Structure 1
Amino acid sequence: MKKDSYAGTPAATSGLSEQFRAARYSLSGHGKREIGVLQQAMAEIDAQTASDMYGNGPVINDFEHKMAQELGMPAAVFFPSGTMAQQIALRIWCDHQGSRKVAYHPLCHLEIHEQDGLRELHHLEPQLIAERDRVITLEDVQKMDPTTACLLLELPQREIGGQLPAFEELEQISAYCRKQRIRLHLDGARLFEILPYYEKTAAEVCALFDSVYISFYKGIGGVAGAILAGPEGFAAESKVWKRRHGGDLISLYPYIISSDYYYEQRKGRMKEYYEGAVELAGYFRACRGITVYPSVPVSNMFHVHFDLSREQAEHLLAEVTEATGVGFALALRNNEQGGSYYEVSIGDNYLHVPKEKLQKAFTMLAERCSAAG
């Protein structure tokens, strides 16, 4: 089975990567992932605060309780990685249901980025539903094998530009799964980023699911870490599996403290990130030979596709970055149409780009695109 990502393999040209790293401003992310990210989070922590020990202690227990409340779930467990958390979630639901079958999108993280971990470690049988270039629909779910133990939905669907189903369709999928006694798990790595579009709270979205995973290093920008939330019994079982997977490190406090710190810093900015994505997509759409996917973003992320080859587009972006000091991307990927693309994920960086700098960069980009076309 093919395990590559949606549209090619990353390969940076030195010109673009060097110009991007040297740029004063960046259109994506929160900033460089440096040790300072942890130092900033730890700055106000009392040095005498007790560490967590093998999954216990106020540092971890209080944060787990806090996130369970935020998600409207009975219980939550902190994990060092989402890969570990999600494989464990699907294993638990399969054991409960007496079936090895799980279902998810063909471009699900478990399918294309985890080296067959679900199959090799847990001997589960993934069923791929829906087409690669669109989200899962109610009709797709209704056509699933009725013996499926658990359906995983990723919101937003990263590999296709962060697309989302309508909330009403989510409600219908949830109702169908409950009627058919199929467990519904949320890959909510970017859950907080979709709330402005849905105009819902995290708890309102999670109420449609039996379990949920969220990440703290993506849109939140922490060092690492994840939360897996669900019923009390489910959470208790997940702690056993976390120990089996070697995830019960003697201490996880650097991850927990940074997760909590940046969650509090950024949870109130998600609407700004979303609005920034909509604005930035408009700038790209005005350039000849560039397509934004989805055309109007539904979260803080989207994909930018060029009609140009990867080498041509990278050279063009490197020129614009060098001339304006505005960094677009570190590297591009090939897409399936013979062009190239990259992913934009709006964070604090975009909010700090002066409008005149942004407009100058896109004026130049539009000129270069027209000349190249």
Structure 2
Amino acid sequence: MNENKTLLNAFKQTAYQAGGHGKRNAGILKQALSEVDAQAESDMYGSGKSIEDFQEKMAKYLGKESAVFFPSGTMAQQIALRIWCDKKGIKKVAYHPLSHLEIHEEDGLKELHGIQPILLADKDRLISLEDVVSLNEDIACLLLELPQREIGGQLPDYKTLEAISAYCRDKGIKLQLDGARLFEILPYYKKTAAEICELFDSVYVSFYKGIGGVAGAILAGGKEFTEESKIWKRRHGGDLISLYPYFISSDYYFEKRIHKMEQYYQEAKEFAALFNGCEFTSTKPLEPVSNMFHVHIAQPKKKLEPIFIETYEETGIGLTSYLKELNENECYFELSVGDAYADLPKDELGKAFQLLDTRLKELKEEIPLT
């Protein structure tokens, strides 16, 4: 093995890569546009039949009165929370400590909107009904992320969701769904998207995660709410002159993959079991509740990277492009199952896990007895 070779480079050079739907290249857009009439009229600044038809279609699918297409979920969610804060006259919202808004958006909610977040629950567990009931501050809105990505994609049981929803409605607290991966959790809950969204006043969904589109998001809710969101979208610069590369690809891959969510879910459970059979390795959750999960390995990064690189070179199977350190003795990475998993040669996949397990056991033999 080349000692200067990085895990990322080794991953890129594998013949098969396990996560997602494959490489995110220009072919994604080219395929989505291949059957579109070249003379079809473009949308203009958020208006036009093509974008309005897609918005109406998604509103119906989500069981909401109206929906608006946004170029990004970050924009959509900040706007949703701003609207609910303005309506109640309270610039406070509550969400999980590891919410995307808190750790990935450079304090956008605070800096752009002057909204103060109230962090609920310990960062390593889900928000419970008790957390919501115990709030000692008035808030305009509670945001729930389903699944909670940063702790492995965990989900509350459905009765807890119903109880939180009922409590919020009773107390006049708006409930926003961070449903970036909403489509992916439908098989676990055995509910339709509309049934889940009925518990929430507003909802955001992504089209580049499980769906695999180029980019874009839908924000859905009541008509008054979405009309106000259009004004804020213009203020944020979200009304590009044309959004069709985004919503056409969103629609194309929605139709292509929405019926595969059960398949991805079952394959994720199969994939997680392979990792759980390896020394020092466990998944979070132990059995996935969607197509996404985290893999934890109780070994230092400097010892694990050469093992993964050698496994890739011997089998042509790439499992992850990175290892993130939790501490000096443990790493983890995230996996989302999509179309790519079904294309993996299962004999080579089995060989890859045999090699991985063998080399991890060799590390165990290096640990001195105390």
Matched, 1:270 2:265: no
CA distance in 1, matches of 2:23, 2:197: 31
**Residue 310 of structure 1 contacts residue 341 of structure 1 at CA under 8 Å; is this kept in 2?**
no
CA distance in 1, matches of 2:168, 2:328: 36
Matched, 1:22 2:21: no
Matched, 1:236 2:209: no
CA distance in 1, matches of 2:267, 2:124: 24
CA distance in 2, matches of 1:309, 1:108: 27
2:67 partner amino acid? A
- How many Å apart are 1:311 and its aligned residue? 2.0
Q: Map of 1:10-49 to 2, 5 A cutoff? A: 14-49=5-40
1:4 aligned partner = none
**Residue 269 of structure 2 contacts residue 288 of structure 2 at CA under 8 Å; is this kept in 1?**
yes
Matched, 1:91 2:82: yes
Any gaps of 5 or more consecutive residues in structure 2?
365-370
Matched, 1:50 2:45: no
- How many Å apart are 1:337 and its aligned residue? 6.9
Q: Which whole-Å deviations, capped at 9, do the CAs of 1:280-331 have from their partners, x for residues lacking one? A: 1100111010111111100001100111111221211111111001101111
2:271 aligned partner = 280
1:59 aligned partner = 50
Mean CA deviation greater in 338-347 or 118-127: 338-347
2:308 aligned partner = 317
Q: Map of 1:289-308 to 2, 5 A cutoff? A: 289-308=280-299
Q: Map of 1:126-137 to 2, 5 A cutoff? A: 126-137=117-128
Any gaps of 5 or more consecutive residues in structure 1?
1-12
1:8 aligned partner = none
Moved over 6 A (4+): none
1:340 aligned partner = 331
- How many Å apart are 1:198 and its aligned residue? 0.5
2:254 partner amino acid? Y
Question: Quick one: percent identity of the two aligned structures?
Answer: 59
| TM-score, normalised relative to structure 2 | 0.96
- How many Å apart are 1:109 and its aligned residue? 0.2
1:186 aligned partner = 177
Matched, 1:255 2:246: yes
Q: Map of 1:68-83 to 2, 5 A cutoff? A: 68-83=59-74
1:273 partner amino acid? Y
CA RMSD of the aligned region, Å?
1.0
2:198 aligned partner = 207
- How many Å apart are 1:270 and its aligned residue? 0.5
- How many Å apart are 1:240 and its aligned residue? 0.1
**Residue 27 of structure 1 contacts residue 328 of structure 1 at CA under 8 Å; is this kept in 2?**
yes
1:197 aligned partner = 188
| TM-score, normalised relative to structure 1 | 0.95
1:265 partner amino acid? K
2:368 aligned partner = none
Q: Secondary structure at the match of 1:335?
A: strand
Q: Secondary structure at the match of 2:215?
A: coil
Q: Map of 1:96-245 to 2, 5 A cutoff? A: 96-245=87-236
